Amino acid sequence: MYIFDFGAPVGFRLAERHPEWIAGLVVQNGNAYTEGLSDGARAFIALRPETPGAEQTIRDLLTPTGVRAQYETGVADPLLIAPDGWALDQYFLGLPGREEAQLALAFDYHSNVERYDLWHAWLREHTPPTLITWGSNDPFFPAPGAHAYLRDIPNAELHLFDTGHFALETHLPQIAPLIADFLDRTWNQQDSAVQQPGQSASGPDRTG
């Protein structure tokens, strides 16, 4: 399961309900630890509908300027980021009802933090094979959130990159091979472990 940003709490909720669905984790700036929350993220999570100015604070993040800033903050060279990402985000945010859905998710984000301890316990119980790739300069989820995973899954592989929240936008050539290698190594090992005596491994030839 690949978890990133809001996909992390969604993914962990699925994992709680159906642990049998989860063969392993690839975590990319998908936070599940309080130390992985920046001061800005903590202030954002503390917003409530009745807080004066709270709705406008969230809506400001959904403007073209706000969305682009989420892509570029923490990136050494913003010219590396193609505009397609934030342009598509902005298009879909402009569809009917999308901003209201984002507001609802934002005001409910505290419910994810309240489940962090349960998710840590799930990781310790199930110990899924895990690869962590993380943009260290993420304005929402800084690098301590990546390191924190190692408390509960000490065998996880951790790779930090000098970039922001959307690490794949600037470091795809570095991260994609890590994911491919992790998948090949992890599931080749698992396939070998479950083979019966006298059976031979089968699958695509990866030697060429």
Catalytic residue from among 120, 126, 159, 165: 165
Please say if 165 is a catalytic residue. yes
DSSP-derived secondary structure letter, 80: G
Strand partners, 159: 133
Q: How far apart are CA 20 and CA 39, in angstroms?
A: 35
Tokens of 183: 């998948």
Distances (CA, A) of 37 to 21, 111, 129, 142, 199: 28, 14, 24, 7, 48
Strand partners, 134: 160
Catalytic center residues: 165
